[in-house]
């Protein structure tokens, strides 16, 4: 059972539909099984149209179903990476080059062996996208599982996909700017307007906007830092300031000591208990560090400058 996200790819869905229609036509008209296959007969009989139709031709129903499954699950990343228009052109480019190369190789063989189906072009597309990943070594494993597939054609398609991934086909490839111009024709404008069909733009900037979800957070969805409540009263001697929601003294030393003079060993005449976080208040609690002379219980008495 296919996921709806795979069916939203317009190019893949159209290719799968065209393959089913061509299979039904060939079956109803009782056409030969090799009527749209590629091989040595492409050059011997001048059947050039086979170079573009062989991916959509299938001899049996199991071959058709397996090819469509490989198409829907393995080529979606190519369309998302290049855009719908460029992916369509790349698919036709890989199809024609694979058909010409294999037909020429088959012409050199003693025994001709025809092939068809979507699998060779699908393998070329996967080779194109995973050229610089660790998955490249797994292409040759199981490429003949689809009925009527030929190993030589599959390997040829994979090599062509690698050549395209290297950029060696850039002279005949479609650029991003040209694809953006083609998107303005009527056909692609209609595709963009159809709801439920994913049309990927050719421009990389517009492509990111299309593929990446738009996040609109609701108010209050982000956590907010909780601040402590301000005290209701402050001391009269030193005005308290606020730093990030917490009370903070305006200065670390009193501006005018009530008795005596300031010396390095004494900070004025302070009576009472000083707190650790309010060294600038004249009266307060003082627990760990005492600026000046202190007794064992935290009381500080000073009568004039220390000698």
Which of helix, strand or coil describes residue 274? coil
Two structure tokens written together for 260: 């005596």
Quick one: DSSP state of residue 255?
S
The pLDDT averaged over each successive group of 10 residues in the chain (307 residues) is 52 91 93 91 90 94 92 85 91 95 92 91 89 56 68 91 91 91 87 79 81 60 52 51 49 48 45 42 43 42 44
Domains of the chain are 9-196 (1.20.1540)
CB-based contact 12:76 (threshold 8 Å): yes
Quote the pLDDT of residue 157.
93
Output the CA torsion 104→105→110→113 (10° steps): -90
Two structure tokens written together for 53: 């139709």
Which residues are CB-contacts of 2 (< 8 A; sequence separation ≥ 6)?
72
CB-based contact 114:54 (threshold 8 Å): no
Burial class (CB in 10 A: 0-12, 13-18, 19+), 57: buried
Quote the pLDDT of residue 1.
39
Quote the pLDDT of residue 74.
85
């Amino acid at each position: 059972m296919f996921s709806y996200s795979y069916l939203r790819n317009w190019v893949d869905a159209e290719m799968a539909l065209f393959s089913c229609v061509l299979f039904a036509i060939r079956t109803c008209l009782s056409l030969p099984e090799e009527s749209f296959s590629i091989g040595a007969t492409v050059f011997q009989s001048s059947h050039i149209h086979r170079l573009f139709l062989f991916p959509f031709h299938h001899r049996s129903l199991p071959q058709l179903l397996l090819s469509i499954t490989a198409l829907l699950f393995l080529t979606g990343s190519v369309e998302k990476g290049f855009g719908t228009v460029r992916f369509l052109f790349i698919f036709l480019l890989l199809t024609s080059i694979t058909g010409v190369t294999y037909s020429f190789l088959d012409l050199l063989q003693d025994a001709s062996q025809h092939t068809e189906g979507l699998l060779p072009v699908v393998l070329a597309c996967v080779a194109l996208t995973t050229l610089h990943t660790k998955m490249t070594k797994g292409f040759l494993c199981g490429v003949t599982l689809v009925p009527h597939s030929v190993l030589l054609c599959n390997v040829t398609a994979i090599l062509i996909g690698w050549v395209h991934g290297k950029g060696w086909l850039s002279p005949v490839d479609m650029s991003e700017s040209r694809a953006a111009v083609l998107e303005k024709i009527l056909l692609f404008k209609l595709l963009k307007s159809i709801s439920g069909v994913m049309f990927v733009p050719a421009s990389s900037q517009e492509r990111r906007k299309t593929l990446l979800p738009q996040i609109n957070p609701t108010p209050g969805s982000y956590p907010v830092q909780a601040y402590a409540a301000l005290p209701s009263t402050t001391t009269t001697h030193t005005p308290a300031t606020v730093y990030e929601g917490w009370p903070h003294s305006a200065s670390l030393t009193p501006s005018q000591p009530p008795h005596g003079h300031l010396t390095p060993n004494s900070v004025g005449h302070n009576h009472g208990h000083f707190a650790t976080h309010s060294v600038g208040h004249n009266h307060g609690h003082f627990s760990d560090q005492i600026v000046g002379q202190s007794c064992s219980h935290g009381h500080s008495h000073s009568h004039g400058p220390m000698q």
